[in-house]
Amino acid sequence: MANKSLFASLRGALIPKTDAVNHENAPAYALEPKQALAQFAATGCFGRTFYASADKQLQHVLELCAQVEPEFVARVAIYSRTRSYMKDMPALLCAWLSVRDARLHEAVFARVIDNARMLRTYVQMLRSGVVGRKSLGSAPKRLVRQWLDGRDTETLFRSSVGQSPSLADIVKMVHPKPQDPGREAFYGYMLGRTYALDALPQLVTQFERFKEGASPEVPDLPFTMLTALPLGREDWVAIARNASWQTVRMNLNTFARHGVFGEAGLASQIANRLRNAEEIRRARVFPYQLLTAFQNCDAAVPAVVKDALQDAMELAIRNVPVINGSVVVCPDVSGSMASAITGKRKGSTSAVRCIDVAALVAAAVVRKNPSATVLPFEQGVVSLALNARDSVMTNAAKLAAIGGGGTNCSAPIALLNKQKAQADLVILVSDNESWVDAGLGRGTALMAEWNGFRQRNPKARLICLDIQPYQTTQAAERADILNIGGFSDQVFELMAAFAAGKLEADHWVGRIEAEAA
C-alpha cells in the first residue's frame, strides 16, 4: 500500500507558496502589477471600501502605473471605459498618460473621454495635481478644444449640467474659437457675456422661453436641467417621453409620483424602451443597476414597467455562458460583502452592496445553467435552495438576504471534496479577503482544496471573480485558474471564453493587451 503521508506531502509541495498577506493579514498571493492594475481599473471607484480608503486606492493605482509600460496603462484605460464601463478610473489613467506619454495620451483621449461627464472628471483630475501637474498644459487644452469642436451646439448644451468644473469653466480654461455665429452666441450665453440673441441655437431659445413661461413646450433636454423649474403633470409626461434610457430607469418612482403613468399608453411606451436591446447596449447599464431599479420600484409603478426591467435584465446578462458540464457557483455572503459596491463617498454612496452583485452573478449563472449548484459561503457554506425557474431578480434577492460572519473562500471547495463531487467549472464571487481558513501550510487553503478537487476532476476550471479593488487573490493564476475583476456583463464574456478554453495563456491580461492603443 502506498505511503499516504508521503503522497500528501508531495501534493502540498505542488501548491504555490504564498507571497503576500491580505487586508485581514491572512496568507494570499500578490497579483502581478498588470493584473493588479486591471483589477483596480475594473472595480475601483475611489470610494472608501470595507478595507481601503479612497486615498489608498489612488496611491496604489499610481504606484502600479509606474511599474508597467505606458502602453499597458493606455490599454487598461480603454478597456476600463469601453468594456468595464467605469468612469473615474479611465479618466485618471488618461490624465496620467498626459504627463508620461503624449503620443499615447492623444491616442487614448477620444476613446476614454467620450462624454461631458468624463471630460469634467478628466479636467478635475489634471488640475488636482495627483498625476504631477496642476494645469491642463498645451496638449490637453488642444484635445479638449477638439472635443468641443467635434460636438454640435445642441449636444454641448445638453451636456452643460454638472459642476466642479462645469462645462462653462472648461470653456474658460481652453478658449475654443467659435466656428460660426451660433457657437459664438452659445459660448457668450454660457459664460454670461454679451451675445447675439437671434444667433442662439433653437434649443437654447426654447429653454429660455420655457423658463420664462412664454412657451408651454417642454424642450428636449436632460432631466436635471428641467426639474428645478415649476413643472406640471403634462411637463413631467413630456420629460418622461424624451428622457434618456438611464434617466428613465433611475426615475420611475419620480414619474409615478407626478402622475406620468396615468397618461394613456405611456406606461407601455416606457416599458418598451426599457426592454429595447439597442438602448440597453448604448446605456452601458450594469446588471446590478437593473436589480436596484426593480427592487426600489414603488407600488405606484405599473406592473408592465416592472416586468420590462426583468426583460432588460435577461438582455443585460446575455453574455452569461451556457456551460457544457457541471457548474458550481459560490457567492461570498460574509460580513465584508455588506459594504457598498462602489465604496462610500459623501453624497453618492451606492445602495448596492457587494453581496447584491455576488448574488446577481450566481442567479444569472443559474438562469443560464439550471442544473448549476449554488454554494453561498461565509465561515462555512450556507444552505439555501434556489428554483432555477425563478427570475434572476427573485433568486438574487434570496441570496442577498443571507450573510454575515467571517470569510472562508475554501469552504465551498472543501464541501465539494467532502462530498467527492464532480464539476467542470467552479465560479467563486468574493472580495477575496479570506481569513477564517488561514493556516500554516505552504499556500492558501483554497489552493490546497482546489488541488485536491482537481485530482478527481482533472479538467475542472476555477474562476475567481473579485468585485473589490484589492491586490491579492486566494488562488494563484495558472492554466486552470482565472482571476478577473469587475461588475459589468463583460465578466460573463470572459467566463464563457475561459470555460470554453478560448482564453490566451495570460488570460485576462492578454485580453486587455489586445486592445488597440
- Where are the domains positioned within the chain? 319-513
How far, in Å, CA of 47 to CA of 41, rounded? 13
Q: State the DSSP string of 280-337.
A: HHHHT--HHHHHHHHHH--TTS-HHHHHHHHHHHHHHTTT----SS-EEEEEB-SGGG
Q: State the DSSP string of 475-514.
A: S--BTTEEEEE-SSTHHHHHHHHHHTT-S-TTHHHHHHHT
Place of cell 432588460: 312
Asked if residues 166 and 160 have their Cβ atoms less than 8 Å apart, the reply is yes
E strand map for 72-200: none
**477: Cβ–Cβ under 8 A, 6 or more apart, which residues?**
29, 32, 35, 483, 507
CA 305, 306, 308, 309 torsion-angle sign: positive
List the grid coordinates of 371: 442544473
**CB neighbours of residue 450 within 10 Å:** 28
pLDDT computed for residue 265 by the predictor = 95
pLDDT computed for residue 348 by the predictor = 66
Chain segment 467-496, per-residue pLDDT in tens: 999 999 999 999 999 999 998 888 998 998
Chain segment 394-413, per-residue pLDDT in tens: 999 999 999 889 999 999 99
Chain segment 119-175, per-residue pLDDT in tens: 999 999 999 999 998 889 999 999 999 999 999 999 999 999 888 899 999 999 999
In this predicted structure, the answer to whether residue 52 has a pLDDT above a threshold of 60 is yes
Asked if residues 427 and 321 have their Cβ atoms less than 8 Å apart, the reply is no
pLDDT computed for residue 12 by the predictor = 52
Check if CATH label 3.40.50.410 holds for domain 319-513: yes
Burial bucket for residue 356 (CB in 10 Å: 0-12, 13-18, 19+) = buried
